[in-house]
Structure 1
């Protein structure tokens, strides 16, 4: 299998990456694109007490099993299927699934630190930065963590102020000027997805990569 065309997608917490990715993937046939997420490579913290979990900073590059993340990306480069247990963010109500990540001509790599990890950043052919106003991003974070993950409001705010924002400013924001495409995502407007897909498909055609987009 030839090396896939690798698209890196990163953004702050609450920038709408999940919405973007789901919509973006719908523009391609399943066999044309595959996705590997940094979030599934968190080093397990489920043995910590509630208070330890509250104070633990998940928003640091060292919270990710960087070596395994990179090696699995390289496995996809070699045409091999990756099997990975889904990370459920220590939510006991969720039973983790075994993810089957198959190689494809287009590989999407997403996560907060994908530009900061030099060995991963070097593999990317096209870089997308999702941006949102801080108030919008915080509202999305609260909605997700309070409802989907069952976190306490004070815990969410503590992590936002002490972990999320400082990490974003140190490990992601400095790379914004270097990316190929910045998407302002304050409204979850589907048009931004169409615009991004058009831009990327144009880039693929310019490189003579034969991938049909729906």
Structure 2
């Protein structure tokens, strides 16, 4: 694929509980399916579903080695080449969720999302625009608790163990150092959807001008 044909690549990362999911939904809603596509690092976790409950509690999902990095990168390059990706979603070992088969089609705009997208140098080099979502730690933890207890079926002790031993150390080592290198940093400490919607409106308008 020539430089003229390559998609415009936006990298979006942020701390756990920073509001990435809502930001992405609001942003993607501005575009048709043939204009934009999303590939998420979360669907490239190396399966841990063979572990016992206790092993799974101790397993660190917040390390770069927990991701199938080679396949993640290869699929991004496939999208560059105009190929459609078929990938089973990752459900964080929740037995109550039946995994969907994801169909990720190439488009003019490619959104790459994940905790390590700036740390993985081969992926960071592909990004044209970098967005960093951040939140104060106590606010991020409150959001994380709500998500993991309800959506992923974890218990409170498991969530707190992972937060203290995995989430915060990983954020400080693998994501925070890249914050000042990003094109846009959004401090999302207030649960007001209008704030995020205003950001996504502005970004989408500028992007539509770029892609014609």
> TM-score higher than 0.5 here?
yes
Normalised TM-score (structure 2):
0.94
Alpha-carbon distance between aligned partners in 2 of 1:181 and 1:95, rounded to the nearest angstrom: 35
Alpha-carbon distance between aligned partners in 2 of 1:87 and 1:43, rounded to the nearest angstrom: 9
Alpha-carbon distance between aligned partners in 1 of 2:196 and 2:104, rounded to the nearest angstrom: 26
Alpha-carbon distance between aligned partners in 2 of 1:200 and 1:167, rounded to the nearest angstrom: 30
1:53-202 to structure 2, matched below 5 A, reads 53-188=56-191, 189-199=193-203, 201-202=205-206
Report the CA distance between 1:28 and its aligned residue: 1.1
Correspondence 1:25 to 2:32: no
Report the CA distance between 1:193 and its aligned residue: 3.0
Q: Deviations over 1:49-92 (max 9, x none)?
A: 01100111100000000000000000000000000000000001
Q: Deviations over 1:111-165 (max 9, x none)?
A: 0000000000000000000001111110110001001111010010000000000
Report the CA distance between 1:191 and its aligned residue: 2.9
Q: How many residues align structurally?
A: 208
Unaligned runs of 5+ in 1: none
Call closer, same or farther: CA 1:6–1:190 in 2, change over 3 Å.
same
Report the CA distance between 1:200 and its aligned residue: 5.5
Contact 2:15 2:133 in 1 (8 A): yes
Task: Name whichever of 97-106 and 186-195 sits farther off.
Answer: 186-195
Structure 2 residue matching 1:31: 3-state secondary structure: coil
RMSD: 1.3
Quote the residue 1:51 is aligned against.
Answer: 54
Alpha-carbon distance between aligned partners in 2 of 1:191 and 1:27, rounded to the nearest angstrom: 16
Task: Name whichever of 19-28 and 181-190 sits farther off.
Answer: 181-190
